[in-house]
Structure 1
C-alpha cells in the first residue's frame, strides 16, 4: 500500500463518520418539536388587538407600575410597621401581576403599549391631562412630589389616600375585564384583583381612621 493510500483511508473514514453524525443530528431535529412551536401556537390563538384581554393587560400594567412606585416611596418615608407592611404587600403583588400581564402580551405577540388612548377596551377612552395621571385613580406628578417630600404621619395619610383612589379605579377596571375578557388568564387574574384591591381599600379606610384622617 502506498503512502497516499494509507493517508487517504483515515480521511475517508473520518469523512464518513462526520456525514453519519450530521445525518443523525438532522433526524433528531426533525423528530423533536420545534422549541418555538408553543409560542407560535399561543400567538395563533392570541386574543385580538382590540380585545379586552390585550387592552386590560396593557393598561393595568401601567396602573400597577405607579402603585409599586408609590409603595416604594412611602416605605422610605415612614417607620410605621403597618404602612410599611402594606407597601411591601402591594410591591410584591402588583409587580408580580404586572410581570404576568407583560408576559402574556409577549406570548400573544402583542406590543406592550398601545398607540391609542387608554381604556378603549372598556368602550370609552380617558384623555391624559399631561399631569402624570394617565388613567383614572392615578396620582399626578404633583401628588407624587408631595409624597416624596412628606415624612411620618403626613406621608402615611397621603399614601393611604392616594392608594385608596388608585385601588378604586383599578378594581373598576378589573371588574370590567373579568366580565369582558375572552381568556381564562385575564378573567381569573382580574377577578382576583377585584377581591384583593377591595379588601385593601377597607384596610386603608381603617388605617386612615386610626390616624384621624378621612379617606
Structure 2
C-alpha cells in the first residue's frame, strides 16, 4: 500500500470525548501502517470563532493554529474529521474553524467560476472520511432529516473546496454507550486508519 498524507481533525471542542478517542485511534493505526499523519485537536486550538464584519475583502488575520491547520490541509491527500452531531449540525467552534479558515485564495477561487457562478475549488485531489457520533441512528438521520448534516459537510463545506468524495462512519447512540460498544467503535476506527480509508 502506498503511504498517504493524512490530516486528522478531532472536531469536538471538549478536552475528552468519543470523537477524540475515535480520531486518536484512527491516527495511531494509520501511523503504524506507515502513513504520514498530522493530528489537530479542536479543543486545543486557539482562535476567534467569529468571522466578523470584514468580509472576504478585509478578513481577520489568521491565528497560528488556523495557519497550521490550513498548511496541513493543503499538504494532505486524505482528511479525517471526527465530530459529534449537535442540534442537527456541528459544534460552534468547528463551524467557526470552517468560517475563518476556508477563505478565497486558499481554499477556493472567486476569480474563476463555473457557469452557475460557483468558485473554482482549490483543494482538489483530496478525499475525506467523517467519523460522526450522534444519538440519532443512521436510519433515522436518513429518513427523518434527509441526511442533512452529511450533505452539509460533504457537499457544502468539504465538497465546495474540492475535497471529495466524503465517506461517513456513524456511531450511535453515542451518549451513554457501554464499554464493549465503545471498544468495538474504536476497533472500527483503527481498521479505517490502517487502510487510510
Q: Does TM, scored on the shorter chain, surpass 0.5?
A: no
Considering fraction of residues, name the structure with more helix: 1
With the length of structure 2 as denominator, give the TM-score of the two structures.
Answer: 0.28
Higher RCO, 1 vs 2 (CA within 8 Å, ≥6 residues apart): 2
Considering fraction of residues, name the structure with more strand: 2
Which is greater in Rg? 1
